[in-house]
């Protein structure tokens, strides 16, 4: 990897030589950069479902790594099983994403603060789970329209850097799939335990709102890019 951006080493991500049980697709940054945004989709979607995100964010400093969940579900894939069987799949997906983050550092010369997470729905839950437990400080974590699992394990299960991680989380008052009140209570609990979360309740359903939400996400990532 060149000192000013992503270069030859990341060709392995495009060719498929990068060893991972997860399917992925890599889009290089429009500007020379070592920053990587890892994008995790929701249940029943595919990695192609968020191909619109880089253009919507308009952050040229981000290389983007779209990652596809492992389990077939409807027309797409899922990160874990439906309630009440979420636990084992979350633990497995966490382990694979830990490995992915580790390999991005060890094989491509990145540092942990070069790595950012964005997750929607199931991808939100997994992003929050990873962010609370990953042992190194990441650049920033965005979770949209998801919830927190394994609440009873916190704060004991927090990593040593969990209270230093920076999170931005949103949820819709009108979310027809996941309870707004449940997510809000979880966020309040985490904040009471010292987790730094920017919480953005919005008037929307189970979706990403391009008009109101994307500018807020962009602003969070801009702050974190500057900080890291």
Reply yes or no on whether the pLDDT at 21 is more than 90: no
Distance CA 180, CA 17 (A): 41
Distance CA 161, CA 149 (A): 19
- My answer on whether omega of the bond before 78 falls inside 30° of 0, hence cis, is no
Reply yes or no on whether the pLDDT at 4 is more than 60: no
pLDDT at 189: 97
The mean pLDDT of 199-206, rounded to a whole number, is 98
Task: Categorize the per-residue pLDDT at 18 as very low, low, confident or very high, splitting at 50, 70 and 90.
Answer: low
The mean pLDDT of 189-200, rounded to a whole number, is 98
- My answer on whether omega of the bond before 84 falls inside 30° of 0, hence cis, is yes
Give the side-chain half-sphere CA count within 13 A for 103.
Answer: 17
Task: Categorize the per-residue pLDDT at 11 as very low, low, confident or very high, splitting at 50, 70 and 90.
Answer: low
Distance CA 67, CA 129 (A): 16
The mean pLDDT of 138-161, rounded to a whole number, is 98
How many C-beta atoms surround the C-beta of residue 42 within 10 A? 27
Mean pLDDT, the chain, rounded, equals 92
pLDDT at 20: 67
Distance CA 87, CA 32 (A): 39
Rg (CA), the chain: 16
Note the pTM of the prediction, 2 decimals. Answer: 0.93
Reply yes or no on whether the pLDDT at 19 is more than 80: no
pLDDT at 171: 98
Query: What are 32-53's pLDDT values in tens digits?
Result: 899 999 999 999 999 999 999 9
The CATH T-level fold of domain 8-227 is Rossmann fold (3.40.50)
Higher pLDDT, 23 or 137: 137
Query: What are 83-141's pLDDT values in tens digits?
Result: 999 999 999 999 999 999 999 999 888 999 999 999 999 999 999 999 999 999 999 99
């Amino acid at each position: 990897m060149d000192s000013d951006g992503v270069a030859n080493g990341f060709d392995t991500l495009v060719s498929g030589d990068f060893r991972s049980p997860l399917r992925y697709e890599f889009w290089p940054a429009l500007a020379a950069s070592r920053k990587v945004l890892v994008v995790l989709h929701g249940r029943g979607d595919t990695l192609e479902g968020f191909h619109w995100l880089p253009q919507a964010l308009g952050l040229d400093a981000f290389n983007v790594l779209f990652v596809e969940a492992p389990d077939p579900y409807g027309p797409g894939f899922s990160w874990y099983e439906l309630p009440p069987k979420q636990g084992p799949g979350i633990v497995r997906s966490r382990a694979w994403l830990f490995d992915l983050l580790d390999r991005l550092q060890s094989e491509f010369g990145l540092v942990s603060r070069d790595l950012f997470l964005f997750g929607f729905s199931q991808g939100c839950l997994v992003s929050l789970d990873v962010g609370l437990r990953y042992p190194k400080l990441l650049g920033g974590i965005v979770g949209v329209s998801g919830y927190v699992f394994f609440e009873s394990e916190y704060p004991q299960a927090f990593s040593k850097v969990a209270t230093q991680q920076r999170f931005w989380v949103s949820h819709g008052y009108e979310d027809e799939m996941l309870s707004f009140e449940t997510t809000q209570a979880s966020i309040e609990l985490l904040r009471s335990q010292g987790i730094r979360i920017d919480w953005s309740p919005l008037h929307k359903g189970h979706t990403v709102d391009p008009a109101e939400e994307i500018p807020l996400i962009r602003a969070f990532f801009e702050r974190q890019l500057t900080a890291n």
